[in-house]
Structure 1
Amino acid sequence: MSSIYLFNIASQRSHWLAVRQETVTGNIAHANTPGYAARDVQPFEAVLQSSHLAMATSDPAHVADTTPGPERVEATEEDDWQTYDSGNTVSIEKELVKAGEVNSAFALNNSVVKTFHRMLLASAKG
């Protein structure tokens, strides 16, 4: 039986979410520190792209995926948030939005893992 990578990916995403939440809380903690620049982590999609996962087949006669991948699109997000006179770039509102995104992503990640786990248990029971 081949390995199932979903649990590994979910574990990596949970770790990434924990690091992002830690970064957000650090930004909030330094909201009044003069000259502090707000930080964020690399998007998880970039982390996932660097792992080079490929689709595995159990039989050479299986049809390979020949569809072209999505075109690379670069999006720029303008930062409309305020920089204070002290040089501090932390915006509490922006950090709270990020914390909400982390919370939603963590809930979704856990739901996917629980559903996949139930599916594996159901298939094992027969």
Structure 2
Amino acid sequence: MASKLQQLQSKACQASQFVAKHGTTYYKQLLEQNKQYIQEPPTIEKCNLLAKQLLYTRLASIPGRYESFWKEVDFVKQLWRNRQDLKVEDVGIGALFGLECFAWFCAGEIVGRGFTFTGYYV
């Protein structure tokens, strides 16, 4: 156990030395590549302004999303009315989509329970 702890400390030391040596270069390169996204001057007031712009822009997009949602619902209703005209491929795609949604739901439940399958901590 002590040898594994010593190995872990050694790896952590190597990683911190690598970051100390190459971190600033990576940081400068990253900023240079993405300078078109940087707002000048970089102040707290500018950050607060951008946060408010993002919030209210998202709020302003709700009506458009609402309309798109109901268009999708109407499309599904139309498909259901004409279900005798559906092809097997379309039904298969819909079934796979439903199965995928269920799988993501199950995975989220497992993650939410702390990666336990029964819900109890052992």
Q: TM-score, normalised by structure 1?
A: 0.30
Q: Which has the higher contact order (CA 8 A, sep 6+)?
A: 1
